[in-house]
Amino acid sequence: MSSRRNFLQKTALGLAGSVAIPLLGKTSVGNTITDNSVLTVAAPLPCGIAGYTFAKFDLDKSIAMMKRVGILNLSLKEIHVPLNSSQETINAALAKFKEAGINVYTVGVIYMKTKEAVDQAFAYAKKVGVTMIVGAPSYDVLDYAEEKVKEYDMKLAIHNHGPEDALYPGPKDVYDRIKNKDARMGLCIDIGHATRAGVAVDKAVKEYKDRLFDLHIKDVSAAVKDGKAIEIGRGVIDFPALIKSLRKTNYKGVCSIEFEKDMGDPLAGIAESIGFFKGAMAGS
C-alpha cells in the first residue's frame, strides 16, 4: 500500500488534471485529446451517507449536516423515522428530504429476528418508497425474508457487522447464506467491519460483485477485532485498491459514508472523510 503522503500527492495530481480538462478542449464526455492522446476521466461513484452517522441528532439537524457536506443520497435509519410510523409521518419526513434535495435511496440497517419484524421492515420500506432494504435478518427468517423479497419485488442487502457479530461477521458469511436464493437478496458490505474481520475489501468486491447492492464506507485504525473507527484515509483500508475494484466490476450502487467516531460532534470528521474519498476517486 502506498504511504498516505504518496497517495495524497497522486490524488492532488488527479484533481489538478480534472481541473485542467475544460481548458484543453473536451471532445466527448470523459475524453480529452491532448497531443494526439486520449485522457480518460472516470465518472465519480455516487456517494451517500448511512443514517446511523447521525444517531445523536434529530432529522432537521441531520439534513442540515448533509447539506453542509454536499452529500444528498441517504440510507434512512429508523432512528429518525421509526419503523411504526404512519404514512402521514413518513410523508412529512420525505417532504423535508425533498425540500433539501436529498434522495432517500434505501432504509436500514433494519434487524429482523422474527417474521413480524420482517413484515414490518418490508411494509416500512414500501411506505418510504424505496426498492431496497439494508438489513440483518436472523438465519431462521431468511426463507421468509426471501418470500417477502419476491412479494414486494424489493432487494434485501444484508449487512455484515464484524467479528463480534454471531450472524454475519464478514461478506462471505452473508454470501454463503444467500447465494442460492433469489437474485434480489445480496450484500451491503460494511468495509470497516469487514476489514476488522480480516477481509481484503477490494477482493471481496470482486468476489461478490453479482450480489453487491450497497456499501457502507468507513476506515478503521487496525485490521483486527479491536480496530477503531477513524476518519477515512487515516486508517488501514487501501482505498485506491477498493475504488479500482469498484470500477472494474462496474459497481452500480451507492458508496455511503458511515462515520462512527466523535458521533456527538461528527461534522469535521464527516467532511474530512468525504473529501478524502472523493479525492481517492479522482486519483484512482
CATH number at residue 221: 3.20.20.150
Q: How confident is the model at residue 28 (pLDDT cuts 50, 70, 90)?
A: very low
Answer yes or no: do 17 and 133 share one domain.
no
Answer yes or no: do 137 and 239 share one domain.
yes
Answer yes or no: do 149 and 20 share one domain.
no
Answer yes or no: do 29 and 47 share one domain.
no
pLDDT beyond 80 at 1:
no
Answer yes or no: do 57 and 97 share one domain.
yes
Answer yes or no: do 22 and 126 share one domain.
no
Average pLDDT of the chain? Answer: 89
Answer yes or no: do 8 and 128 share one domain.
no
Mean pLDDT of 254-281: 97
Q: What's the pLDDT tens digit per position in 226-245?
A: 999 999 999 999 999 999 99
Nearest to 118 by CA among 152, 74, 89: 152
What distance in Å separates the CA atoms of residue 242 and residue 128, rounded to the nearest whole number? 31
Q: How confident is the model at residue 145 (pLDDT cuts 50, 70, 90)?
A: very high
Give the pLDDT score at 41. Answer: 57
Answer yes or no: do 13 and 120 share one domain.
no
Give the pLDDT score at 40. Answer: 56
Answer yes or no: do 60 and 201 share one domain.
yes
Answer yes or no: do 30 and 68 share one domain.
no
Q: How confident is the model at residue 45 (pLDDT cuts 50, 70, 90)?
A: very high
Report the domain count for the chain: 2
pLDDT beyond 70 at 158:
yes
Answer yes or no: do 34 and 101 share one domain.
no
More confident residue, 13 or 210: 210
pLDDT beyond 50 at 15:
no
The parent domain of residue 276 ranges over 43-283
pLDDT beyond 60 at 21:
no
Helix ranges (DSSP H) in the chain: 4-24, 59-69, 87-99, 115-128, 142-152, 171-178, 191-196, 201-207, 239-248, 267-283
Q: How confident is the model at residue 283 (pLDDT cuts 50, 70, 90)?
A: confident
Answer yes or no: do 177 and 217 share one domain.
yes
More confident residue, 4 or 267: 267
In the chain, % of residues over pLDDT 70: 85
Mean pLDDT of 137-160: 98
Q: Is 242 helix (H, G, I), strand (E, B) or coil?
A: helix
Q: How many CA atoms lie within 13 A of 14 on its CB side?
A: 21
